[in-house]
Structure 1
Amino acid sequence: MDASTLFLYIITVSVVMMTPGPSMLLALSNGASKGMRVASFGMAGAALSDLILIGAVGCGLGALLQASEQLFILVKWVGAAYLLYLAWVLWHAPTRALSEAYTPSAATGRSAFLRALLVGLSNPKGLLFFAAFLPQFIRPSEPVAQQYVLLAITSALVDCVMMSMYAFGGRLAMRRFSSQVMQWINRSCAGMLALLALGLTLYRRNPSH
């Protein structure tokens, strides 16, 4: 893969990933209410989901999801249910001002990691997106596996950069605002996650797939 193709992929995937999807909303909420350390665990989980999804596309699972209506519906509803659960958790999550003592625990970091990982893996739109998007940048005349590895690592890094921006923005907001405002931010993220869950239930594959 030449440098120009990789650069075009980076620009395109950056534009797609910067939109406020579930992973970005979780990064924003984690950065605002739990700090950058916990947010970094969530970023690692989301990045791992990118690597797994692209690996699955390389193994042909993306095509299987496109071909099987039953599997697609199952994954879609599981993903929507999990997003609704996360929305409920964020809505009821306690918040506190930055001045209050708060020590993030290892358990909190692990839960942030697992939440982000499950959000990525339970969303069929991610797998279908990579299945339709990545092959456009793959050159069959060159080693295919190496190209998938390169694009997977690139996607994970771009995702981490975008999530860092969201998490840092949430952290800056926490430094300026009270716990009441932070609760409003958490509940706004919860509302958007619920809307994304609704959108996922209404999502249909392209009939041409």
Structure 2
Amino acid sequence: MEASTLFLYVIAVSVVMMTPGPSMLLALSNGASNGMRVAAFGIAGAALSDLLLIGAVGCGLGALLQASEHLFSLVKWVGAVYLVYLAWVLWRAPTRMLSESHKPILATGKSAFLRALLVGLSNPKGLLFFAAFLPQFIEPTKPAATQYALLALISASVDCIMMLIYAFGGRLAMQRFSAGVMQWINRSCAGMLVILALGLSLYRRQPSG
């Protein structure tokens, strides 16, 4: 794969991943409510979902999801329901100032990892996006598996950097603002997750062929 192709992919995937989707909102909330250690577990879970999704695309699952209305609907509604559940958890989460406690108050590292992983895997838009996006950067004259693996590592790395920025921003907010402001941040994230869930429930596959 040419260096110019890789550079173009890094730019394109960075632009896409910097938008505040479910994984970014979870990173922001984890950084604010639980600290960078727990946020790091969540980031690892989201990065793993990137690797698994791109691996699935390389194995043809993206095309299968595009072709099967029933499978697409199942994954879509599972993802939407899970986002609503996460929104409910964030809405009800207790908040406090950093000076009150240094302990996590919402999630453990394990739960943050699993939540981020499930959010990534239960979103069919992510799988369909990679299925449509990645093949444009694959050179047909070279081994596809090696190229998919390289693009997967790049995607996961860029995603980690973006989520770290969100998590660090949440942590800074935790240090500077009152518990009331932090509750507003949590509930704003919850509201955006509900909006994303609604958008996911209305999402339709692009007609094939």
Length-normalised TM-score, structure 2:
0.98
Q: CA deviation at 1:103?
A: 2.1
Q: CA deviation at 1:206?
A: 1.2
Helix, strand or coil for the counterpart of 1:99? helix
Q: CA deviation at 1:143?
A: 1.0
**53-62 vs 199-208, which deviates more?**
199-208
Matched, 1:63 2:63: yes
Asked whether the equivalents of residues 32 and 182 of structure 2 are also in contact (C-alpha less than 8 Å), the reply is yes
Matched, 1:110 2:92: no
Asked whether the equivalents of residues 43 and 160 of structure 2 are also in contact (C-alpha less than 8 Å), the reply is yes
Q: CA deviation at 1:110?
A: 0.3
Deviations 1:94-150 (A, max 9, x none): 111010123239x70000000000000000000000000000000010111000000
RMSD: 1.0
- CA–CA distance in structure 2, aligned partners of residues 130 and 122 of structure 1: 14
Code of the residue aligned with 2:204 in structure 1: it is R
Code of the residue aligned with 1:28 in structure 2: it is L
Asked whether the equivalents of residues 66 and 208 of structure 2 are also in contact (C-alpha less than 8 Å), the reply is no
Deviations 1:30-82 (A, max 9, x none): 00111000000000000000000000000000000000000000000000000
**Which residue does the alignment assign to 1:13?**
13
- CA–CA distance in structure 2, aligned partners of residues 26 and 8 of structure 1: 28
Matched, 1:202 2:173: no
Helix, strand or coil for the counterpart of 2:46? helix
Matched, 1:123 2:103: no
Code of the residue aligned with 2:65 in structure 1: it is L
Matched, 1:136 2:136: yes
Code of the residue aligned with 1:137 in structure 2: it is F
- CA–CA distance in structure 2, aligned partners of residues 110 and 104 of structure 1: 12
Code of the residue aligned with 2:197 in structure 1: it is A
- CA–CA distance in structure 2, aligned partners of residues 104 and 29 of structure 1: 12
- CA–CA distance in structure 1, aligned partners of residues 28 and 3 of structure 2: 32
- CA–CA distance in structure 2, aligned partners of residues 6 and 159 of structure 1: 16
Same amino acid, percent of matched pairs: 82
Asked whether the equivalents of residues 33 and 104 of structure 2 are also in contact (C-alpha less than 8 Å), the reply is no
